[in-house]
Amino acid sequence: MEEQYGGLDKRLRRRRLLIFLVLLAVVVVITVAVVLGVTLRPRTNEVKATFLERCQKFKDYNCEKIWDAFRQAYVGRDSCNVPVGAYDALFLEAPFVPSCNRVMLWSKTKDVVHAFTAKRDCYVTLEDTMLGSVLDGLTWCGKEGSNETFTTDCPGWTECENNPVRSFWNQASAGFANAACGDVTVLLNGSIPKPVDPMSIFASIEVNRLHYNRVKKLKVVLVMQENPVANCKSDSLVALEAKLDPGMEYNCKEVPEAQIEECGSDPEKPCGSCW
């Protein structure tokens, strides 16, 4: 009799354990589904709200119309099949205004450049323009068969060439450089072996659009931190000068980062004297 009850007790414990494991598995599946649903859900309203809020800080732009032109470039498309030309309508709605002697380009010096332009209204970077400011730091993509905007599960910059973010910045950089005239300034990083990386947007896109009929001088500011590894005679900078149109003036200066920071904080100092 005791053996019968002992066997029954073991069967009950096994059954309870099995029920517990099944319930646990169900909870795990539901939790994962909820997490994935939150992570991968469309973010159209959030992206649109950010886009419009930033856009409305600039005057004389129809932000709703510009938003529609922006989303048409990538919505419903494979996120690796959004070529540069997909943004043509967007840049027709918000073209770059020609800017003489104020264009500032940069490569691997983003923080230094924007810390400076945030304090001094002497130069304009791409990220200071309306479209550059609106989309700076954002990630977006669409999906085939969907009318939504997504901010997760989008391809990275190097994952595929024709992804929405990369194509936008490539076209924006080309348009911004096309609008430059007079003197153009570029801040490069003296703490890396190649301040002019051939694969960078500056070297591969922007420089190719600086032509002598509009741009008369390229001023290179080589930002020097502690223990710099490059100077104005570095091979990549020599190659940059050789690449410019005949007749275009070229100037390179090695400037300590601390000097740029100090000058940026002194509104009485002419911007040109910062380097």
76 within some domain: yes
Q: What confidence score (pLDDT) does residue 190 get?
A: 97
Of residues 161, 159, 141, 143, the one with CA closest to residue 151? 141
86 within some domain: yes
In the 8-state DSSP scheme, what is residue 273?
Answer: G
14 within some domain: no
12 within some domain: no
188 within some domain: yes
* pTM score over 0.85: no
Domain span including residue 87: 42-274
Q: What confidence score (pLDDT) does residue 127 get?
A: 97
266 within some domain: yes
Count of the separate structural domains present in the chain: 1
Mean pLDDT, each 10-residue run in order, the chain (275 residues): 53 64 50 43 82 97 98 97 98 95 97 94 95 97 96 94 98 98 98 97 98 97 94 98 97 96 87 82
Q: What confidence score (pLDDT) does residue 204 get?
A: 97
Q: What's the CATH number where 212 sits? A: 1.20.82.10
With residues binned 3-state (H G I as helix, E B as strand, rest as coil), the percentages for the chain, rounded to 5, are 50, 15, 35
Q: What confidence score (pLDDT) does residue 271 get?
A: 79
- The kind and range of the H/E element at 253 are strand 249-256
32 within some domain: no
Q: What confidence score (pLDDT) does residue 21 get?
A: 58
Q: What confidence score (pLDDT) does residue 268 get?
A: 83
